[in-house]
Structures are given as C-alpha cells and as structure tokens.
Amino acid sequence: MSMDADALLRSDVRPRLHKKDFFGLVKESFLTQRGTLLDLALSLKNSVEQTEPVEAGALQPRRTLPRIQLPSFSGKYEEWPAFRDLFRSLITQDPSVSGVERLHYLRTSVKGEAEQLIRNLPTTGDNFDRAWSMLADHYENKRLLVRSCFSTFTAIPRMKNESAADLKHIFHGMLSTVGTLEGIGRPISDCTDLLVHLVVEMLDPRSRREWETSVSDTSEPPSYAALKTFLERRMRTLEALQPAKTEPPSSSSSKAANTASRSAISHLAQKTAKKSGRCAMYQGDHYILFCGDFQKKQPKEEFAEAKQLCLNCFGKHQLTECQSKKNCAACNARHHSSTHNAYAPPGNPSIAASTLHVQRRTDDRATVLLATARVDIADRWGTRFSVCALIDSGSEVSLITEALAQLLRLSRSAASVTILGIGGQRAVSANGRVKVHLSSRTTDFTMHLTALVLPRISAYGVRVKTAGGEWPHVRDLPLADPDFQAADPVELLLGADAFFQIIEDGLRKGGPRAPIAQRTTLGWILSGVVDGVKDGAPALAHQCTVDENLSALVSRFWEQEELPHTPLPLTEDEQRCEDLFVDTHTRTP
C-alpha cells in the first residue's frame, strides 16, 4: 500500500508541487520561524546575565531571635513619647493585629494612672481608637512634658568631688533631656546657653576649672556640642584615674606559686587566726568579752593591766594602738564602759555628772495621741508630695524640716528667729523662712502659709495597739490621718497661725482612753490619751544626767583667771620698800 502511495506521489503529486513552488514556501517559512526563535533565545540569555546574583545568605532560613517585649508605660509624662512611638511600630501599624487584640495589648502595657484612665472601656475592637485617643489627649501635653523633663533634670544632685559615676549620671541626664525635648518637637537650639549653664553648675570645682580652661580661647558662649565633647573626654579621664579592682588570685595561679612561700604564708595565717581569737583568761577560742568568768571578775581593769590588754576593747594590744572608734558610754573617755567607775574622776556628788538607770516594765500603759494630718505640699514646679503634719495650737509659728524644704526646692528668705522651748529655754535657731502651698487630701481646701525651716521638728512617734476599730465614735469618719498609728516622721508643724483657719464645728468624744475627734478642713483629727502597746513590750531604760550649766562652768573659768583678793605675804625687803613708797608718795587729787 505504501509502495503504491510513493509511486503515486512520484508520478502524480510531485509535478504539481514543483509547479506551485510549495517547497520554497515551506522553506522560507521555516527559516523565518527559526530566526525568530533564535532572537528570542538571545534576548532571554542577555536578560538572565544582567540579573544581579542572589546572595547566598538570603536563601538561608532566618535565625530565631528573642521575642520583643511590649513597652510599658507607668503614667509619667517623660515616658510617653518613647512608649507612643514603640507601641505604634509594634502593634498599631501591624495590619494582622485586630482591634480587640490592640486594646488588650494596650491595657497590659499601661500601669498606674494611665491604666485607670482606660479601665472602664469595654473590650471591643471599636474602643481601641477611643482608648488611644484618651491617652494621647491626656499625655500629649507638651507644656507638662517639658516641665516634667526639666524637673527630672534639675533634681540631679551636684558633684561634690571628682567621681566618674556622678559625672555619668549628669551626662546621661543631659542626653535624656535633650532627646526627650527633640522627640516632642522642642529642640534645645533656642536655649542652648541655659542648658550649658545648668550642666556646668552641677560639676565639681576641678571639672569646672577644666571646662573654663577649655573654652577660655574664645569670648563666644560655648555650644552644646562643645560641652558634650568635654564631658565625654572628662569621663574617660576620671575612669582612667580610678584604681583598678584587684581580682582574687585563681586556683591555677595559686598552684603555680612557690611551695615554700605558700607554706610559710599559710602557717602565718593560721597562727595569727588562732592567736587573735583566744581568750586572755583561759586561752579559749572565744573572745574575752564573751567569757562568763571574765564578766563576773571584779575589778576588770586590774586584770587587763596585768595581762597587758587594751583598756578600751580588752584586745591584745596597747591602748594607743586601739582601732576601735567606741569609747565609754558614760563619760566618752578612752576606756571600756564596764570600767567606768575605776576611771571616773572624784568630785562633789552634787556637782559631778551622775547617771540613773531605771528599768520599768508594765503590761498596760497609756499613750498620748497627738493630732496629725496627711497633707499634700506642692514644690516650686507644682508637683505634690504627701507629708505628715503635726497640728499644734500651742506653737506661735508653723515649722518645716530642712530635708523637706530642700526636696521641694522652695524659695527661701533669711530669718533671724530663735525658737524657745519649755521654760523659755533656747532650743534652736531657724535656718530661713519659706512659703508653703498645702492642700487637703480629703476635701478641696487649699492654704498658703509661711513656715520657719528647722533641722528637726519633733521626735513624736505614737505606739498604738489598735488602728481605730475599737473606737465606735470615729469608725465612719474621714480621718485627716488614716495612718495615725504609723510612726512616720513629722515633717511639717501647723501652728496657731494655721490652726484657727482649719478648725470647724464638730466634736466627738468616746469612752475612757479613747481619743477625741475634732472636725477640720483637712478631715477629722484625733488626739488624747489612748491605750498604748501591751503584752510583750520591751523594757524601757530611762537615762537621767545631771550636769552643771554651761554658764556656771564659764563663770568658774573666769574666777580662776582673776587675781586673788587676799594679798600674798611680803618679805622684809619687800615690806621695807612698800613702807617707803607709802611714806614718800601721795595720790594727787
């Protein structure tokens, strides 16, 4: 069949194909398509060669990195810019996090006042934008941010001496302040001179001298960049001057030491340790003051002198070599307290100092509760601090402690005032006068007053056995001092100038040994005789010292310096001269 077809093709079809030039058309089409394919292959090859090679590291799997912790915000204004930017980058700008998840993350990240601000919002996706807006409206307060930033910076203590740690504290505080101000759009370009002045005032005298030397070649105000460079160089200098910490020798270095030297040192250490811990009485391994027989031995000073012991600490050295800083508790002399009677100077019992120790222990004793109140005091920037105030209508003036006045950084004026105590005796002189702005913690009452600055106001510390639950008449009252049973230090005293401004109508009395409640603008104050601590109270030791008055001692000193009133006896020659002088000389009128 195939042979017939070939024969037919050769005989019949071929002439017609040649006649129509079909083979030429096919060949032309083939060559055209081949050229097109070759052009495409060449262009594809060139594009692949021009493509940048892929780095080998990009094809490797990504390493597991530590999980990023969500930022935390405690409600401080200076922390808000950093928290806002980081929370936006991690949570808000992530499209895969839903609104409910964003609100949950926001609630877990804020603390304190900020958490209370959004606590009552329902946990729904629509409330995230509302919660974020509430926080932004409250903390996007540039005025408060700037004030808080500068308050933190000015609270940095000044350098008292050359210290790398203190200088780092100042340097880091400066960088933090500048960064915070730039983050809220308040760069320091307009207040560079003021910032440089504040930082330089915090330096120690030597560092300030170095700073003035570095900028003495120009009369222009120094820049912030120059100050930053100086502080960095100064920190490196102080760090280099610090003595290096000596590391303890390792076990390998100890083994490499000389055997004979190591044995000698070890033997000496063991011998010294044994000698220093022995009792001088029985050669025991305990200290002599813990020896029961030595405590019973009288007199101790004779035994110490016989054994050549130190009369101050009973150690095995001389008194001049004693390293102890403690002296006799009775007379502060350089001997042990147990030997005071042997070294006490003799004198008139009515004049010499005498000490009386009285121990008393009772199961139930009364305590006088003084009127106190918890008030808020504003510093010079408006920040409020809670302090314990003692209300005393018997004081003519109001008082404030030196520590609180320095903490508040209040403006102080000079005051030459002497405070008189009981009996008109001079107690202490005031260190100045400040103006105080206080407010109540229970009401809207505010008050301005002037207070004298004293190193210390009172040693009052009440010890009450109850917190007020046993006093029905004050159980539901808003107390001015809810923690009246706490022994907090008194930092403010409200005298008569403030007492009659805060007193109001209202008085409640309880039973015996129950305080009286008085109503004031600060709340109800408690005062009076109450039950003190009982059952297991420690024994009290009262020390009464009778000594001469300072004026009497000064009078005796001048009496000793005066010439004697009775003339001394004269010799015969001196008497003859005296008689001759009297007979031949007279005083002119």
Q: What is the pLDDT of residue 267?
A: 39
Helices (H) and strands (E) in the chain, counts: 21, 15
Thinking of the domain 366-531, which architecture would CATH place it in? Beta Barrel (2.40)
Q: What is the pLDDT of residue 400?
A: 92
Question: Could you tell me which residues are beta bridge partners of residue 385?
Answer: 377
Give the total residue count for the chain.
Answer: 589
Helices (H), 51-126: 80-87, 99-109, 112-117
* Kind of pairing between the strands at 492-494 and 384-391: parallel
Mapped onto helix, strand or coil, the DSSP state of residue 252 is helix
- Rounded Cα distance between 377 and 398, Å, is 14
Domain ranges (residues) in the chain? 77-140, 145-239, 288-342, 366-531
Neighbours of 231 (CB within 10 A): 21
Mapped onto helix, strand or coil, the DSSP state of residue 382 is coil
Contact 392/415 with Cβ under 8 angstroms?
no
pTM for the full predicted model = 0.34
Write out the two tokens for 527.
């005062």
Looking at residue 13, the DSSP 8-state letter turns out to be I
Write out the two tokens for 438.
């206080």
- Rounded Cα distance between 419 and 393, Å, is 15
Contact 167/159 with Cβ under 8 angstroms?
yes
Q: What is the pLDDT of residue 434?
A: 92
10-residue mean pLDDT series, the chain (589 residues) = 50 56 74 83 72 50 68 80 84 84 86 85 83 84 79 85 88 86 79 87 88 87 89 88 55 46 40 48 60 66 76 77 75 72 50 40 63 89 87 88 88 79 70 89 87 84 58 83 80 89 87 85 87 49 42 59 62 88 82
| DSSP sequence for 224-292 | HHHHHHHHHHHHHHHHHHSPPPPPPPPHHHHHTS-HHHHHHHHHHHHHHHHHHT--TTT--SS-GGG-H
Q: What is the pLDDT of residue 69?
A: 78
Contact 322/310 with Cβ under 8 angstroms?
yes
Contact 112/74 with Cβ under 8 angstroms?
yes
pLDDT digits (tens, 9 = 90+) for 516-545: 889 999 988 988 887 765 444 444 443 334
- Rounded Cα distance between 23 and 21, Å, is 6
pLDDT digits (tens, 9 = 90+) for 440-473: 888 888 989 999 998 888 877 665 555 555 788 8
Place of tokens 């001394």: 568
Say how many Å lie between the first and final Cα of the chain, rounded: 189
Mapped onto helix, strand or coil, the DSSP state of residue 246 is coil
Q: What is the pLDDT of residue 553?
A: 57
Torsion sign over Cα 6, 7, 10, 13? negative
* Kind of pairing between the strands at 426-429 and 418-420: antiparallel
Distant-in-sequence, close-in-space partners of 208: CB < 8 Å, separation ≥ 6: 200
Q: What is the pLDDT of residue 263?
A: 42
- Rounded Cα distance between 28 and 492, Å, is 113
Q: What is the pLDDT of residue 280?
A: 58
Q: Which helix (H) or strand (E) holds 199?
A: helix 192-201
Write out the two tokens for 254.
């100890």
Mapped onto helix, strand or coil, the DSSP state of residue 529 is strand
